[in-house]
Amino acid sequence: MINESRPDAGRNASPFLHGHEAASVARVLESGQYGHTDITEKFERQIARFLRVPDAVAVTSGTAALHTALLAAGIKAGAEVIVPSMTFCATVQAILAVGATPRFIDIDATTMCVTPDLVKKAITDSTGAVIPVLFGGRAVDLTPICADLAERGITVIEDAAHAFGSRNHTDSRLVGSNATVLTCFSFGPIKNLTCGQGGAVIPRTPDEAHTLRRLRLLGVAQSQSERAETTTYQVHGFGLRYQLSGLNAAIGLAQFDHFDMAAAARRHLWRTYRAALTGVRDVTLIDVGPDHAVPHLCQIRVPRRDEVFAHLRKAHIGVGVHYPPNHLQPAFATWRRPLPATEQAGEQILSLPFHQHLTEGDVAHVVRALRAALDAIGTTPRM
């Protein structure tokens, strides 16, 4: 018998725990040290080891990762940052936080991601950085324009909030392992790997890693262990309280023990949806490329999306929309420009329940409910 409560919206925001997280947090609580501790640094080393990179800098969230990455890259007022409108508003807020200007660009309608051509067309003399968003977990390969970007001094800062564990489609390199880009991860409640709340930046150089660590600790240059052995410390510049708590790092470390299983489960779930949706009229599945990605979302395009959404919510199916386009938001109206593919997607996209609590039976239940919703509203869009 199918448990019909599982696809409900309440599960969408619930992290998938493997069973050891509570004990890991309890050990940190018992230690009496809840700030940035050796547990945080152990988590950083684990990220670096997983990605096979020299270093990783843990911070409080994916938004903090983007903010500190922009600061470390020297992006300031007067600079433009190329960014897709189809992303969570946090990406745009991080740009505004450093005083820069977002230059919104369109997406490829099939993948919901930017392409090298779309980025290249948006470059101006004021461009300081480009933030490709690895939407749904799909890697974005800007290799065809990397030399041009480097020649112009444009930094690539990957928003890989959805893409921890994903690989590039062309060379199978793990997202975050490219030494020519700054990569930002999120370890929020429902991400592929969760810390409860957390994030990380993968620096390009040791100097950049040092800058990121200074920025995340209020501009203080010395580490916690170094400060413990002296009567003073030095503040070398602007900084924020962005260091990751050992409590959160402990959750992340416990999650790492099961990450291969989590990645396989997410791929299997996405493919189960793909098979179940075959032949469902008027539905197009957004391709995340599960052979390389660790999927974070399962999205479809449907006509009369708002009506389908209402039918499914009434049936207690936890559908959502990721995301309302940012260039149409009141807060970002100053930078609005025509983005036809994004605007069409904004009217059609629907996120199906997608989390490791789901079973194959749950997927079948969601797709049956989707069929019923489509039957209820008919196939012809209202004029």
For 53, the token pair is 């990179």
How many angstroms separate the CA atoms of 118 and 237, rounded?
Answer: 36
**What is the gyration radius of the CA atoms in the chain, in angstroms?**
21
Q: For residues 106 and 133, is the Cβ–Cβ distance under 8 A?
A: no
Neighbours of 121 (CB within 10 A): 11
- The answer to whether the beta carbons of residues 142 and 171 sit under 8 Å apart is no
Partners of residue 182 on adjacent β-strands = 157
Length of the chain in terms of residues written: 383
Nearest to 357 by CA among 187, 189, 111: 189
Give catalytic residues, as residue numbers: 191
Per-residue burial over 161-191, b if 16 or more Cβ lie within 10 Å, else e, is bbbbbbbbbeeebbbbebeebbbbbbbbebb
Residue 361, CA distances (Å) to 6, 27, 324, 355, 367 in order: 10, 37, 30, 13, 10
Dihedral through CA 91, CA 242, CA 137, CA 362, nearest 10?
-110
Residue 237 to residue 112: CA distance in whole angstroms: 38
User: In which residue are the tokens 């449907």 written?
Assistant: 302
Q: In what order do the strands lie in the sheet with 284-285?
A: 284-285, 299-301, 349-351
Q: Where are the alpha helices (DSSP H) in the chain?
A: 9-12, 21-31, 38-51, 62-72, 89-97, 116-122, 143-151, 206-216, 224-227, 246-256, 259-277, 305-314, 340-348, 360-377
